[in-house]
Amino acid sequence: MSYADLMSAMLMVFALLLTIVILDYREDMIESQKLMAEKQKQIDAVTNVKNDIIAALTEEFKDSNVKIEVDKQTGAIRFPGNILYDYDSYELSEPGKNFLKEFVPKYFGIILQERFKDEISSIIVEGHTDTEGTYLNNLALSQNRAYSVVEEIYTKGFPNFPEKELSKVYITSNGRSFTVPLKNSDGTYNAEKSRRVEFLFRLKEDERIEEIQKLVSDN
């Protein structure tokens, strides 16, 4: 075999190997794209459920006569602490109890309706304070406030509503002290708005979707 024939044979072998590598790469790319598309579908499905819940909550409470805010991103419902409590107190006021009697049945009627309840992982009643005082004192105050709301819902005097027993599977209470303050539109701290109680929901797929979103963004 001449030198030219040898080089030609080596070139053919190299071309063949390169073709195999390219084909393998294309197959890996196609498989990766399919996987990413499937992950995106999962994200979209969960996002649609969350958006539907947020839309339903917004519609239900848009004409409320108290300052109920629905977070358009998370679905958290927040209202000022002075609706429920006197300053620096965690004992529910009579107007606060009356507010809960009106608010709670409507809230659970939306969150735990047939189309949503199987998607819900937990419902959290969360207390928040302003920055006045120590972290630990405010932690205790915020926890006691959140707990007092849950306690009130299940007292004998509280109205029955269709989802009352079922809600016990989902509901919990939590205090955040002053670690999540709220600000005005100009970015300055708002002590009054920071003193609040929130109702939040978490979907079963949220944690897994967060991991998927990290993978999608990394790619």
pLDDT tens-digit readout, 41-50: 555 555 688 8
1-5 average pLDDT score: 59
Cα–Cα distances (Å) from 106 to 11, 24, 55, 110, in that order, read: 75, 56, 14, 6
Output the domain CATH number for residue 54: 3.30.1330.60
pLDDT at 130: 94
183 three-class SS: strand
Distance CA 67, CA 74 (A): 18
**Is residue 76 in a domain?**
yes
Structural domain boundaries, residue 77? 41-212
pLDDT at 32: 62
pLDDT at 43: 55
**Is residue 64 in a domain?**
yes
Cα–Cα distances (Å) from 193 to 78, 120, 162, 197, in that order, read: 9, 27, 32, 10
Q: Which of 5-14, 44-53, 125-134 has the lowest mean pLDDT?
A: 5-14
Select the more confidently predicted residue: 215 or 32: 32
**Is residue 184 in a domain?**
yes
Question: If we measure between CA atoms, which residue out of 166, 172, 63 comes closest to residue 116?
Answer: 166
Distance CA 185, CA 51 (A): 24
Can you list the alpha helix ranges (DSSP code H) found in the chain? 3-61, 94-111, 135-153, 164-167, 191-194, 206-218
- Please write the tens of the pLDDT for every residue from 60-119: 988 877 778 899 888 999 988 889 999 999 999 999 999 999 999 999 999 999 999 998
**Is residue 147 in a domain?**
yes
The answer to whether the predicted template modeling score (pTM) of the entire model surpasses 0.85 is: no
Task: Supply the Cα-derived Rg of the chain in whole angstroms.
Answer: 27
Residues forming beta bridges with residue 123, ordered by sequence position:
171, 201
- Please write the tens of the pLDDT for every residue from 145-169: 999 999 999 999 999 999 999 999 9
φ, ψ (nearest 5 deg) of residue 121: -95, -45
- Please write the tens of the pLDDT for every residue from 172-211: 999 999 999 999 989 999 999 999 999 999 988 765 566 5
**Is residue 116 in a domain?**
yes
**Is residue 205 in a domain?**
yes
pLDDT at 201: 94
Question: If we measure between CA atoms, which residue out of 98, 99, 143 comes closest to residue 124?
Answer: 143
**Is residue 131 in a domain?**
yes
13-33 average pLDDT score: 71
**Is residue 219 in a domain?**
no
pLDDT at 101: 95
| Tally of domains in the chain | 1
**Taking all residues of the chain, what is their mean pLDDT, rounded to a whole number?**
85
pLDDT at 1: 54
Class of residue 156 by CB neighbours under 10 A (exposed 0-12, middle 13-18, buried 19+): exposed
pLDDT at 38: 61
| Confidence check: pLDDT of 216 > 70 | no
> How many residues can be counted in the chain?
219
